Structure 1
Amino acid sequence: MQIFIDENISPALAAAMNHLQKLLNENHTFVHATEKFERGTPDQEWLETLKAEGNWAILSKDKFDKGAPEKIVFRSSGLTVINLDKKWSKKDGWTIACQLLKWWPDLSKNLISSQSACWYEVPFGYTPNLKGERMSLAK
């Protein structure tokens, strides 16, 4: 599966995850938003492109407010979204990288086993057995 790293996360983290992924058998590829699209490309545009290409999940650190139009667009995209909750935004790069590595085995397992698009709201504090919320496909 290809993991699209939203602009609000460092491109260095995408590169590091790609290198570390080579140690595993899961065959994920991490692609930062700026590797695929111009900086500032509207979410709706890249979401539609990724959906059309297939085999993508999104890793984001957006601070979605309940009912926010951007959150509705993400949730109706038909793509799995891994959203790091608001507490992640208050952490430095090393801390984010270390915590994402702690979470990654569970997140990867969920990506591989899921038969449909899910929304994962990932708290900063690690708790095993994260459950995603299945999303209905956009019409």
Structure 2
Amino acid sequence: MTKIYIDENLSPYIADGLGILESPNNDDFEVLSIGKLFGRGAQDEDWIPKIGEERGVVITQDINIHRSRRQRELFEKHGVGIFFLTPPSKNGYTYWEQVEQVIKRWRDIKKKCRNKRTFAFRCTSKSSEFEGM
């Protein structure tokens, strides 16, 4: 079972909705919310190792995770795959833009989840597909 975690900078409703939409597929994907499971404001240092133990994947719009050497090393050390949805402005995506970006890329996300961990992929609102980082 591949667990895909939605970071708290994206709506937890996306995790709930995708979880419902994925359930009839029976293709071993579970969608969870980091904020709901670990609490709002949980430190990355607390949840990254736990997600790594589950060989999980994270979807986030926080590109600073990759820019911070300490956090990048934490993801790499624990074998967590990560997808960055880079928003067009510092304000991030609106709720419906978040929904659109995740749904538009969902098949590609699932396909790339089958890759060996650790990985990092990034896309912008104008990207047609993810690019490796």
TM-score (norm 2): 0.81
Establish whether residue 6 from structure 1 lines up as the match of residue 7 from structure 2.
yes
The aligned counterpart of 1:56 is: 56
Task: Give structure 2 stretches of 5+ with no counterpart.
Answer: none
- Matched residue, 1:42: 43
**1:20-55 alpha-carbon deviations (Å, 9 max, x no partner):** 213535331111112221222210111112222x23
What's the C-alpha RMSD, in Å, of the aligned pairs?
2.3
Alignment partners' CA distance in 2, 1:39 and 1:87: 24
Greater fraction helix: 2
CA contact under 8 A between 2:55 and 2:117: conserved in structure 1? no
Is the aligned partner of 1:118 residue 2:119? Answer: yes
Runs of 4+ deviating beyond 6 Å: none
Whether the 8 Å CA contact 1:81–1:118 is kept in 2: the answer is yes
Contact kept? 1:18, 1:30, Cα under 8 Å:
yes
Structure 1 unaligned segments of length 5 or more: list them. 134-139
How many equivalent pairs are there? 130
User: Which 10-residue stretch deviates more, 102-111 or 86-95?
Assistant: 86-95
TM-score by length of 1: 0.78
- AA aligned opposite 1:58: V
C-alpha deviation, 1:56, in angstroms = 0.8
Q: What residue identity is the alignment partner of 2:113?
A: L
Matches within 5 A, 1:83-98: 83-87=84-88, 89-98=91-100
The letter for the 2-side match of 1:95 is: E
What amino acid sits opposite 1:107 in the alignment?
I
CA distance in 1, matches of 2:76, 2:86: 15
User: Percent sequence identity over matched residues?
Assistant: 20
- Structure 2: how far apart are the matches of 1:48 and 1:22? 26
Whole-Å Cα distance in 2 between the matches of residues 125 and 35 of structure 1?
Answer: 30
